[in-house]
Amino acid sequence: MTVCCNPVNVSYKYSFTKDPRINYRLSVYREAADPSLVLFKGRYYIFASMNGCVWVSDDLAHWENRPLPQNMPIYDYAPDVTVVGDWLYFTASNRGTPCSFFRTRDPLNGPYEEIKGDRDYWDPNLFRDDDGRLYFYWGCSNSTPVWGVELDPVTMKPVGERRELIFGNPYEHGYERFGEDHSERPKTEEEIDALFEDYLRECGENVAQIPPESLPVIRATFAGMPYIEGPWMTKHEGKYYLQYACPGTELNIYADGVYMGDSPLGPFRSAENNPYSYKPGGFITGAGHGSTLEDKSGSWWHCASMQIGVCHIFERRVGLWPAGFDADGELFCNQRYGDWPMELDALRADPWAEPEWMLLSYGKRALASSCAEGHGAENAVDERVQTRWKAASAKPGEWLCVDLGEEMDVHAVQINFADDPELLPACPGEFVQTPDTLRFIDVMNGGATQWRLEVSSDSVQWQSVKDNWEAEIDLCHDFIGFDQGLPTRYIRLTVRALPYGAPPCVSGLRVFGRGNGKKPSRPAVRAERLGDLDFLVSAEDCAYTLGYNILWGHRSDKLYHSYLVMGNGLDRKRIGGIMKGQKLFVRVDAFNESGITHGEVMEL
């Protein structure tokens, strides 16, 4: 059984940044985003922003982190990788400096040969068609489109003029609207100017440090218009699927939409199923700026950015979900329980297979050896990655314990260590000026996550189930699975040390398995459309219910979109990720520790 749980369990590297958007205040946080996932010579590789490394796996579940050679542009955002014959081609983003291509036959050991570039771009994607021709897509703006052009396969220079392919359209595409849960409207030019002037006044004399080419980019962040960015091309059965991210990576509703066409440079039309990658709810949100892969078995997967945003708006992670094409050729991605354990072989057989192991830890009693003010143990079981338990000290032996209330069949534990925005260690290297910020990436990561996990049925006799006391690697989203299950009530995490000597901070000590009671009752649901781009959902308190999954789609048999909400009862929950002019079908499922109960499908 091959099981994994989002975010991807790998060593995320720390960035030390001084960002002009927050007046050059120092921020320290782990980051990885904008992943390019490829299958090359029988192995899977992920290249992600601001990690300085390549991740490699043989099964998509277990990943190893390997540093990239020094000649690689690790400080350039949105690395793109593409298989071209026996080579893996790499490029990344820059502004004001020409971007090169690099190629290698060995992603782990190199060398990476540089093909000098003569132009800059942001959020690139190289696509090789079946006839060997190369096409290039790029774009990252809330005022300009995604572009495309053919490239000469030898020089990697454009053949012909670039074409405009995708523009933002938040007035008809509800999922492109900005703000948390699509809550913001586009600003007028006068409003943008006023907000930008306020920002410049707040910066004071630090304005002089901002590169002139960055000022228009910063001004655009106040527009309330969607960023149309992160293109990725997939070809399937003769159709071209141009994917793109929107509306902003710092939002819970960061998504990937898709346009379809009959040729690699269009024309393209918006797909019926949009956005196809969308995860606005659950423990950790966001599912935008990604890549789509056909694996060794012929199954499809989508890899994308997930959002934390506590220490910095770009504090992000990487997620992986089952994807595919339905009988009508529509691209979909299953994120219904997208941060719960996934059994990969079951999802290969059925990409809509429901989880075998349910969430057991939500809202349970949590105890700790000590708590810093405002960061109690209950924050580790509230299913919000933005909150955290923080110990009062960094001394070895601080512990956190979850009491399930009764003995249950535990099959997995996910330990989510959080970065503390109050901890600002000295930067261990020299800052590098990048187009958006001053940054240093600590590939060594300042130490390991060292801890011990124990279980007990009576809180007296304890059994160690995972001992990382002497670990030499930093894994901040470690996942421990038990195929046979462990009958237990208490789960205790004891921490020895964290990177940079930080006090223990845990955003989620998440426990999965099977409860002892009944499944929830079928929820009594009311739903109504609210204009062209929104709908409202209400549900009465339902016996034995821990949460709901709101599903919707443009056909009753294509409920491809979802929003997971914890708690019993829904009071006019607004959903904003729909398309103007489409039919709308909705179903609300209820879940608890013992299973999932499907609701009835209704047309709005």
For the chain, the domains span 31-186+224-349, 358-514, 525-603
- Quick one: average pLDDT of 168-178? 95
Dihedral class, residue 42 (left if φ above 0, else alpha if ψ from -120 to 50, else beta): left
Give the span between the Cα atoms of 187 and 327, in whole angstroms.
41
Residue 206 has pLDDT above 80, yes or no: no
Residues 6+ positions from 91 with CB-CB distance below 8 Å: 79, 80, 99, 100, 101, 102, 117, 124, 126
Give the span between the Cα atoms of 550 and 537, in whole angstroms.
8
Give the span between the Cα atoms of 497 and 396, in whole angstroms.
6
Q: Give the residue from 222, 244, 223 showing the smallest Cα distance to 232.
A: 244
Using DSSP, how many helices (H) and how many strands (E) does the chain show? 3, 44
Question: 572 and 530 in contact (C-beta within 8 Å)?
Answer: no
Side chain identity, residue 129: D
Of 214 and 531, which is predicted with more confidence?
531
Q: List pLDDT tens digits, range 498-513.
A: 999 999 999 999 999 9
Domain 525-603 - what CATH class? mainly beta
In 10 A of CB 310, how many CB atoms? 18
Residue 207 has pLDDT above 80, yes or no: no
Token pair recorded at residue 319: 């997620």
Residue 200 has pLDDT above 90, yes or no: no
State residue 191's pLDDT score.
Answer: 85
3-state helix, strand, coil in the chain (%, to 5): 10, 45, 50
Of 213 and 314, which is predicted with more confidence?
314
Side chain identity, residue 583: K
Residues 6+ positions from 77 with CB-CB distance below 8 Å: 34, 49, 50, 92, 93, 122, 123, 436
Classify 219 as helix, strand or coil: helix
Classify 490 as helix, strand or coil: strand
- Quick one: average pLDDT of 17-36? 94
Of 168 and 213, which is predicted with more confidence?
168
- Quick one: average pLDDT of 436-441? 94
Residue 209 has pLDDT above 90, yes or no: no
Q: Is the dihedral of CA 567, 569, 571, 577 positive or negative?
A: positive
State the DSSP code for 499: G
Domain 358-514 - what CATH class? mainly beta
31-186+224-349, CATH topology level: Tachylectin-2; Chain A (2.115.10)
**Mean confidence (pLDDT) of the chain:** 95
- Quick one: average pLDDT of 50-79? 96
Share of the chain above pLDDT 90, in %: 89
State the DSSP code for 185: P
Least confident of 18-22, 144-148, 437-441: 18-22
Residue 214 has pLDDT above 80, yes or no: no
Residue 208 has pLDDT above 90, yes or no: no
Residues 6+ positions from 83 with CB-CB distance below 8 Å: 38, 39, 40, 89, 128
In 10 A of CB 454, how many CB atoms? 19
Counting Cα atoms < 13 Å in the Cβ hemisphere of 472 gives: 1
Residues 6+ positions from 202 with CB-CB distance below 8 Å: 23
pTM recorded for the entire structure = 0.95
Counting Cα atoms < 13 Å in the Cβ hemisphere of 393 gives: 7
Q: What size, in residues, is the chain?
A: 604
- Quick one: average pLDDT of 137-155? 96
Q: For residue 255, what are the β-bridge partners? A: 246, 278
Residue 183: phi, psi to the nearest 5?
-95, -5
Q: List pLDDT tens digits, range 567-578.
A: 988 999 999 999
State residue 436's pLDDT score.
Answer: 85
H or E element: which one contains 90?
A: strand 87-91
- Quick one: average pLDDT of 2-26? 95
Of 216 and 431, which is predicted with more confidence?
431
Q: List pLDDT tens digits, range 275-313.
A: 999 999 999 999 999 999 999 999 999 999 999 999 999
Token pair recorded at residue 578: 């729909």
Going by pLDDT thresholds of 50, 70 and 90, the confidence category of residue 188 is confident
Token pair recorded at residue 598: 């499907």
State the DSSP code for 268: E
Residue 116 has pLDDT above 90, yes or no: yes
Give the span between the Cα atoms of 47 and 63, in whole angstroms.
12
State the DSSP code for 252: T
Share of the chain above pLDDT 70, in %: 100
